[in-house]
Each structure stands twice: as structure tokens, then as C-alpha cells.
Amino acid sequence: MSMMFRYYFFKEGTRVYDKAELLTYLEAQPFMTLKNDGPIKKAYYNNTVLDFNALFVLNTKSVIERIERLDPKYLDLNIYVEFEVLNNTYKVEKIIDMVEIICRRFGFAVYNEYFENVTPFKRNVLIRAFEVVKDAYKKKYEEEFLTYSRLSKDTLKSIYSFLEIKEQLDDLNDYKILDYIFLKEKDTRSAYVCIDATVDGPFIIPPAAKLVKIKAKNDRGYIYISYQDFFKKISKYLTLVDSRLYDVFMVDEKNYKKVKKIITKTKFDEVVVYLEKIELSNVMDI
């Protein structure tokens, strides 16, 4: 387990807040489970879509070191949320979303050990603190990061955003959502996003792909080709799934046979570098 990162909650001039309302809010959040550990209340966040865990703790005493150096006008509420520092920023922003609502609703401020002091909620400050700590952790434990492959923050945002709305697209009967395949070059941290186009029937193309898996000619199994080349060849037959999803395309029943013929007959250039499969959970944005 990597080190834990925390945001602590404070309030200016008082420790009074509606504890029952806060617990009700936490319990109502998706993927959240409320438990008691004696007098300590804990809310476990287990996002199974993003494969991300966090823990909200309502403690009975302060756990902040050297609290005396902080501005005395802010009082520690003995509440914090923690999660592993080895996480992608997109996932952490889900926690920051909740922190923002809590701060607005209850008048809380936020503190982290890497802040100079307690501060009213500022989204960019919370994100920046997490990323600075993660970067420092990477520099200190470089070998641990060698076990993780890397994709850009924007690429991971596109992937995770799509995974979150994927179930809604499943309502499109008879359309196959092309599966993601995550690949890396041997002995490097460079990761590649691939989609599996070995399907028979209308399909939906998820975003952020760089490679496409297709059936090879002459029963040679499968090959990987450039997504850009693939997209260019079939673009005239693509439509947007939803006008709000500018990067999610579909091949409908009317055009599928034409696209299938292009995939079957076109002599695509094969990507020949050695690639091995990896899990998305082993991909970082740093």
C-alpha cells in the first residue's frame, strides 16, 4: 500500500455543525457505505467503476501533527477523508467534488499537511496539493512507479468519463461497445489504448484509442493497426452516439456491412512493435 493522502475539515470560530445531516449526505452518495467503529463514524467509498477507494472519518480527537502552527480562528472538526496517493487525478476529483459540496453546505474549510494554512475551499488548490505530493512520492520511490504504465491525464479522463456513462449506452440494443485493450511496450512505461474491432454487427467506438485490433488476413490471427488510419477509412460511415458525446462514435446497422468490407479488404499497415497487455488499474497519469 502506498502512502495515504488526506484532506482535513475545519470551521471558522466554532466546532458546531449538523453531524446527522453530514452523515446523511455521505450515506446517500453512490458507492458509499456508512459504518461505526465505536464512537468513530466511517464512510467507505468504493467506486467499482473507477476502481477507486477512499475513507471519510469522523473522529473523536484531532490527528493533525503540529496543529498549534495553524491559524487559531479555524477549529479542527476531527473529520478527514483519505485515499492512496498512487491514484489518477480524475479519480481524486470525485472526492474533491464531495469535499466541495460539504464545504459549501456546512461552511467548512480545508487543510492538508502541504498547505501553508487552513483555507476556504479552492478546487485548484486541492488538486495541486495532491499532484505535488504524488510527484514528490514518485521521485522518492521511482522503482515503485516502474510497475505502473503511463497515459496522459487527458487520455485517462476520456477513458474514465466514458466508463462512467457506458451503462447508459448499453440501452442501445444490438450495438456492441468495442472493448478497451490496454497495452505497453516491453521494458517501458509507455501505455497504449487499443479497441477490439473483431465484432460482427453494429458497434460503438469508445474514445481515446490509438490502436485497433482486427482479424489478420489469411487466418493469421489478429493484428494491431493505427486508429487514425482505421478512423480515416471508415469515417464517412460513422455517426455520433449523442451530440453531447463528441468523441463517441457508432456504426449503425445500415452501414455495418460497408465498414466490415473495408476492414476485411483494406491492407492496413500492421503495428509491429512488441506489445503486452496490462490492466487499466496499473496505469498512472504521471
Residues pairing with 58 in the sheet: 41, 79
Per-residue pLDDT tens digits for 183-211: 998 888 999 999 999 999 999 999 999 99
Percent of the chain with pLDDT over 70: 99
Q: Give the whole-angstrom CA distance, residue 7 versus residue 15.
A: 17
Per-residue pLDDT tens digits for 44-61: 999 999 999 999 999 999
Strand 275-278 and strand 180-185: the pairing is antiparallel
Q: Give the whole-angstrom CA distance, residue 13 versus residue 33.
A: 31
Per-residue pLDDT, 227:
97
DSSP H helical ranges for 29-151: 89-106, 123-140, 142-145
Burial 212-238 (b: 16+ CB within 10 A, else e): bbbeeeeeeeebbbbbeebeeebeebe
CA dihedral 201, 206, 211, 215 (to 10 degrees): -10
> Considering the chain, what is the average pLDDT of its residues?
94
C-alpha grid cell, residue 55: 475513507
Per-residue pLDDT, 2:
74
Per-residue pLDDT tens digits for 95-125: 999 999 999 999 999 999 999 999 999 999 9
Split at pLDDT 50, 70, 90, the class of 129 is very high
- Which residue is associated with the grid cell 464512537? 39
